[in-house]
């Protein structure tokens, strides 16, 4: 089993920034990719950004140019730097780890963008 713990969510004004962190522990060998997903009320969970252990990244279109995902392979930690935040970015953000055919999820951290 892999355990994921997110941190860094909170309330921020439009145009502000937040940095999310997610640390993995447990049976962390062969984690191929880690990523961030989000789910707003009454919406489906959607990919925000993903990074492989080789450093390849992909982003949701709305995140491109504003969000940056990075990974510390030694610490098995993934980060999401979010800039120029908008009210529509408000959601619960979930960390994800891909290990073989298994997906692991963190409990989520709330991000609220509001004035």
Q: How distant is the alpha carbon of residue 26 from its chain centre?
A: 19
| 3-state secondary structure at position 39 | strand
For residues 5 and 18, what is the distance between their CA atoms, to the nearest angstrom? 17
Q: pLDDT-derived band of residue 112, with 50, 70 and 90 as boundaries? A: very high
Per-state percent for the chain, helix, strand, coil, to nearest 5: 5, 60, 35
Residue 28 has a pLDDT of 85
Residue where the block lists tokens 């953000």: 93
Residue 48 has a pLDDT of 98
Query: Quick one: DSSP state of residue 88?
Result: G
pLDDT digits (tens, 9 = 90+) for 2-61: 999 999 999 999 999 999 999 999 888 888 999 999 999 989 999 999 999 889 999 999
């Amino acid at each position: 089993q892999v355990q994921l713990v997110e941190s860094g969510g909170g309330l921020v004004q439009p145009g502000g920034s937040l940095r999310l962190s997610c640390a993995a522990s447990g049976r962390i060998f062969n984690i191929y990719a880690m990523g961030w997903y989000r789910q707003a009320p009454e919406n489906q969970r959607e990919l925000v950004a993903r990074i492989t252990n080789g450093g390849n990244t992909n982003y949701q279109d709305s995140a491109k140019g504003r969000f940056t995902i990075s990974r510390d392979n030694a610490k098995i930690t993934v980060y999401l730097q979010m800039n120029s935040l908008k009210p529509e970015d408000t959601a619960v953000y979930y960390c994800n780890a891909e290990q073989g055919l298994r997906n692991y999820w963190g409990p989520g951290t709330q991000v609220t963008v509001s004035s």
